[in-house]
Amino acid sequence: MASSRMRAAGVWLTGLSLAVVLAACASRGAVDSVRLGAAQVEPGQWMSYGRTWDEQRFSPLDQINEGNVARLGLAWYDDLNTFRGVQATPLYVDGVLYNASVWNVVTAYDARNGKVLWRFDPKVDRQWARLACCGPTTRGIAIWNGKVYIGALDGRLIAVNARSGRQVWSVQTLDTTQPYSITGPPRVFDGKVVVGNGGADYGVRGYVTAYDAERGNKLWRFYTVPGDPSKAPDGEASDSVMPMATKTWTGEWWKYGGGGTAWDSIVYDPKLNLVYIGTGNGSPHVQAFRSPGGGDNLFLCSIVAVNATTGQYVWHYQMVPNEQWDFTCTQPMVLADLQIGGRARQVLMQAPKNGFFYVLDRATGELISARTYVPNLWASEIDMKTGRPIVNPLAYVTTTPQLMTPTWMAAHTWHPMSYSPLTGLVYFSAQEQWTVQARVPDGEFRFVPWRSNSGNSFTADPERRRALQKVADSREKGYLLAWNPATQTEAFRVPYKYPGSGGVLTTAGNLLVQGTIDRTLAIYRATDGSKLWESPVQTAPVAGPITYSVDGVQYIAINAGWGGSPVAGLAAENPPVRMGPARLLVYRLDAKGVTLPAMAPPPAVPAPPPLRASEQQIQEGRRIFGETCSRCHGENAIGGLKDLRFMTPETRREFNAIVLEGTRKEKGMAPFKDLLKQADVDAVNAYLVARANEDYQDYIANPQ
């Protein structure tokens, strides 16, 4: 199933050295530096987020391969008791599968049959859901020395005993008076647990912190943007580089947080003793309001390399100077050793929101190459002499609505990508989504804590906006992209009708595995993209799949649960596409007799109430919806987690209580009474009634 002569931690392991490593693996759950550094010696394990520290998401297992994958069947599954998006990559260690669902509920299973060994619920207060644009989800957990680590949505870093599921320790990583949250997976290495946070949309200052894996005490912290320069230094690892970063900001950005949150991508390189941090967008989004004199605004949308031991700055590369498009560089990073131009290079690869695929020297931060992989109105190319983008002058955000792509919905978002050393290709979910962008006029920006503070306008020139939105929706598409990082060329693509397909896994069996927006799990040939197998799963699995081996049998596991950025086309279907409940699905060869329950019949689309609101109230509702609701419920109220155009009469009657009092907070709809007044909610309701009346006749006229 895998070569007996494997390379681990940069050293060839044979004979006695291999035996020593394997002996260290014998104690169940004893994941440590030796074991993770030598992960290739144990191809059947999946002990960290990307399987190995380089996060290539490539498995040497080949029992399931292109020749027999047609025999794959569902071995077992577990209902996760939610219809929300489940984004976590499971972990597998020594016969146990560890998984995280919404609200950071972690379950340990017997990996052979799905028997629940324990379940831990950190009891996250449901109000935190409104601070996470993709819902109350997590992208994963970490394991080290008999402990499972949870980065909870409410900011707690929790260590749980891997055998019993009992809490060992918990530490609060956030200032809970600020609108931070955690959705990214913790990373663990060399006795340290490293965790970032989110919240740039709401007005916070980003940072990353390392904690002692045994006791939970803080070891170092690195701030990703400068604070108030009139105050004393933070007393943190980032102090030495903050004067340099401060020179790239103007105005009083610190009053708005600044942003730059590291909400997902953190990667460790044991060879160089570096931690790479991918940073996020500015706060607020529109640069004119946070840094009115311009400037690069370091370290927004950058890769920052810090010393793994001390957290001290080593180098940075900024993908998006002058960030104002809600671009982030928090998308997955992959480390690899490549031959480029006849030269061996240690590289870091990333395909962030802005639509360019970057290859950097991971020791120095030098830009090796960059090429756009989607239609791009933001920049024509990256200047190889300066490393800076050549930005289209028309891409800068103005008060006039205009079409833009890539967008905040991303050319490639958080969905994990995979690098196969066998094919030399990187595989990831790419998408083309367009948006209508404009900012509010000077003097009209109002910063409201705990609310999305983009600075964008959602009401300017409504007729022009409406016409452009139709164009934007018509251009939406998605595909699985195979990309050659050495030549910066596309190898092949697998097209989908809509964006939104999930994370990717490759294996030595020449398999390319992905959950699709077509509500299937699909497996393709990694060398050419030919479809080898596909199974309907009732929802779109967006999480990263894994594969593992126990008792000589290889399995493929994935969380299937739709959630994330809006997809207009899904809601435009008549009737709208329905997603089933979230489940953990596990497959093996020749498995039979396990099937998913049939979905209930779809409900009828209810007719909207008559529109009686004034145009002024509707436009005010449009503005409030755009600022407060659109991240979860879609631009123009289309394509979100819950389509609010066609609410049931019961939901319409309860609308005020749902929004203000949080009567459905158990389903993730937190109360907004601290941000919205009754008049605001009435305006939003009026806007939604107007949108329902605009679109309902199209549904009636075009039944399927």
Q: Tell me which residue of 580, 692, 583 sits closest to 646, measured CA to CA.
A: 692
Is residue 410 a contact partner of residue 432, using CB atoms and an 8 Å limit? no
Assess whether 234 carries a catalytic annotation: no
Strands in 147-151's sheet, in edge-to-edge order, are 142-144, 147-151, 156-161, 167-172
Residue 344 phi/psi, 5° resolution? -75, 125
CA–CA–CA angle 303, 309, 315 (5° rounding): 30
Please check whether residue 453 is in contact with residue 472, taking contact to mean a CB–CB distance below 8 angstroms.
no
Looking at the DSSP bridge assignments, the partners of residue 198 are 181
Burial class (CB in 10 A: 0-12, 13-18, 19+), 112: middle
Minimal CA–CA distance to 541: which of 525, 518, 524? 518
**Count of C-beta atoms within a 10 Å radius of residue 375:** 13
CA distance 268 to 141: 16
Strand boundaries in 1-154, DSSP class E: 7-8, 11-12, 58-59, 72-79, 91-93, 96-100, 106-110, 116-120, 142-144, 147-151
8, β-bridge pairs: 11
How many helices, marked H, and strands, marked E, lie in the chain? 11, 41
Pairing mode, strands 511-516 and 520-525:
antiparallel
The β-bridge relationship of strands 58-59 and 504-507 is: parallel
* Spatial separation of the C-alpha atoms in residues 618 and 391, rounded to whole Å: 36
Three-class SS state of 171: strand
- d(C-alpha 263, C-alpha 200), whole Å: 9
Eight-state DSSP code of residue 435: E
Burial class (CB in 10 A: 0-12, 13-18, 19+), 398: middle
8 A C-beta contact, residue 208 and residue 195: yes
Catalytic residue selected from 54, 296, 326, 473 = 326
Catalytic positions, please? 326
